[in-house]
Structure 1
C-alpha cells in the first residue's frame, strides 16, 4: 500500500517545502491531500501547479479540500471525512498562528482548539502510520537553563500568547502518544534558507535587520546591551524541512519529540555584529541599554517605524539552552545537519536587502 499524506497548514511556506522534500525522500508516496481554508484556495491551486512542474517524473496525485481546523471534524462533510480517513497513512499538522504578538483569543482558537480537532480526526484513521505535529522549542516558556526533548514542563510564565497556546496544544498531542503513532517536531526560531536566504516573512531575526536598515542614517550602530549574555537559537528552514521529512518517516521516531535546534547557537551580540558587518562593513559601537530599547518599542509608532515587534526583545535576554541530543542521534548517518549560522548570514542579508520594500514580506506590527 502506498503512502497517502494529509496536510494542514497548506499553502504555507514550511508545508509546501516539506511536501517537496517528502516526495524526494519517500518513494512510496502516492497521494497528498491538502486541507485548505476557502480564502486560500486560489493560492493553494497555484502552489500545487508549481510543485507538479517540479516533480521530475514522480507520479504523485494532489487533492485540495476545503476545511477549517477551528471547526469540529475540520469542517469536512461526514461522508467525505470518513472516506478520507480510510485512505490516509500519514498526517502532518502544521496549521497554526506563528506570531509573537498574536491576540490571545485567536491563538487559543487556532493553536489549541484547532489541534484538539485535528487530534480527534486523527484518532479515526484506521491505517495511520504516523502523525507528525509541528510544535516549537519555545513551549519551554520562561524556563531557563538546559531544556531537554523529553520534557514538557509547565513553566511559571510564558513570553507571549503564542508560546502558551503552543504549549497547551503540544500537551494535547503528547497525551495522544499512547493511542496514535506520533512524532513531535520542535524547531528553534526559523530563518531563511541557508544558501539562498529565501523566506516568506521578515520576523524573528529579521526584526534586527529592519531595525538596522531603518536607522541607517546613524553614524554608528550601538549594541543593545543586556546584563545577561544570551544565545539565540536560529535555524535555517532547509534544515527544518530536511530533518522533519526524515524523522517523520524514521521508524524509531514513533513516540519521540525532537528539538530541531542549532547545537552550537550564536550569542545575541555575535548575531548583531554579523548583521552590522554584513550590512555596513562596520562593527557596532557604543551601547543602548535593553531597558531603553524596551521603552522605545512600547510606543506603537516607534515600533511600527522600526518594523520590530516589542515581544521579540524577550528572546535576547532569555537564557534557555535547547538540548537536541535525541534529534542529532537519530539524524546521524542521514547526512542532515544544521548549517553554521555564520555561513548563512551573507545570503540572509542579501535576500533581505533585495526584498525589504516588498509589503508581502513585512509583517503587520501591532
Structure 2
C-alpha cells in the first residue's frame, strides 16, 4: 500500500514507519523539516530508503502547508493515512496551541484525506479521553465532563470530529495508554511518563553516590495504584492489524489487560538502577516530607492524576481483533518490566 503518516519522527511514528516499510509498504511522511528524518534513515537498511517519500508540511497550516502540485500528485495515490501527530503538553498556558494541533490539525488531516481520495484513516488518540472517570469504554466519551488537562480534552474533541467523517472516509481510532519501550529490547526514544520517574530516580542515585551519606529519598507515588503501561511494539501490532482488519467506525484500546501496580514498577526501577535508597510513599504522608524531598517531587507533580488513579479499560473490540488475527495479547511480567528499565539505562 501507499500510506501517509503524520508524526513520523516521533517515538511511536518512527516505530510504525519501520514496521510498515518492512512489510513492503511505501510510506509518505508529513514532516516540517527533512533534517528530522536523519535518525529514521539511519535506523533503516539502505535498501528500504526508496520506500520513503517525504511530504513537507505542517499541521498548523491550511491544507497542512503542502504545495498544491504535491497535493495533486497524492490524489488517488494514498490508500490509508495514520494520523499519529499530536502535541503532548499538560501546560495550561499552552492550551490554545494544544487545541490548534490536536483538534484543528486533525481537521486539516481529515480534509486532506478527502481531497486526495484516501480510503482509510486511522487516528491515534489516547486512552485518557475519559477525563476523571475510572472506567474507559471503547466508545466516544462525552466532551461535557471534567478533564485532567487540555491535552486529554483536545484529544476527546478530536475523536468526535474523526467519527463525524464516517460517511466520507473509512475511519477508526486506536487509543494507546502510557507507551513505554519495546517489550523485547527495552529500547525507547521518549522522555515522558515512566521515563520521567526513571530520570528522577537516576538523578537521586547520582546525588547519593556523590554525598555518600546513606540518605533515603521518598517519592510521592501510590504503591497499590496501577499504571497502564503498554510496550511500543504492542501498540504497533494493533496499528498494523487495524490497517488490514480494523472495522470502520470502531475504537480500539491499546491498553494493558493486567497493568502492574506502581509498587511492582518501582521494584523493577530499584533493581534495574541498582539503587535501594529511594522509596515511594502515599500522598497522605506528603506533610512528612522534608523541604528537600518536596522539591525533588516537583517534577512528578504533572503525573499526579495518573499515579493516583487506577483505571479499568474495556478491551472487547481489541480482544476480538487479536483473536480474529491469531495475535497474542500483551502479558507483562516482572521480567519485562526490568527489561524496560534496563533499556532506559542503555539509552
Please give the alpha-carbon distance, in whole angstroms, between the structure 2 residues aligned to 1:73 and 1:225. 44
Q: Does 1:100 align with 2:90?
A: yes
Please show how residues 24-103 of structure 1 align to structure 2 within 5 Å.
24-25=22-23, 29=25, 31-37=26-32, 40-45=33-38, 47-48=40-41, 50-53=43-46, 55=48, 61-101=51-91, 103=94
Match of 1:233 in 2: 228
> TM (normalized to structure 1)?
0.82
Spell out the pairing of 1:142-181 with structure 2 (5 A cutoff): 142-144=132-134, 146-154=135-143, 156-181=145-170
Secondary structure, aligned partner of 1:11: coil
Q: Tell me: CA distance 1:317–1:54, structure 2 relative to 1, closer, same or farther (3 Å).
A: farther
Contact in 2 for aligned 1:5/1:32 (Cα 8 Å): yes
Shift of 1:284: 6.6
Residue 4 of structure 2 aligns to a residue whose secondary structure is: strand
Aligned partners of 1:142, 1:315: CA distance in 2, in Å? 10
Q: Scaled by the length of structure 2, what TM-score is found?
A: 0.86
Paired with 1:183 and 1:79, the residues of 2 have a C-alpha distance of 29
Q: Is it true that 1:220 corresponds to 2:216 in the alignment?
A: yes
Equivalent residue pairs, number = 337
1:48 shift after superposition? 3.3
Report how far residue 320 of structure 1 moved: 2.1
Moved more, 322-331 or 201-210: 201-210
SS at match of 2:15: helix
CA-CA distance at 1:291 after TM superposition: 6.8
Is the CA contact (8 Å cut-off) linking 1:18 and 1:242 kept in structure 2?
no
Pairwise CA RMSD of aligned residues?
A: 2.9
State the shift of 1:155 in Å. 5.5
Secondary structure of the structure 2 residue equivalent to 1:123? helix
The answer to whether the 8 A contact 1:17-1:241 is kept is yes
- Which residue is equivalent to 1:261? 255
**1:278 counterpart (262, 272, 283):** 272
Worse-superposed segment, 259-268 or 7-16:
7-16
Look up the match of 2:346: 354
Query: CA offset at residue 125 of structure 1?
Result: 3.2
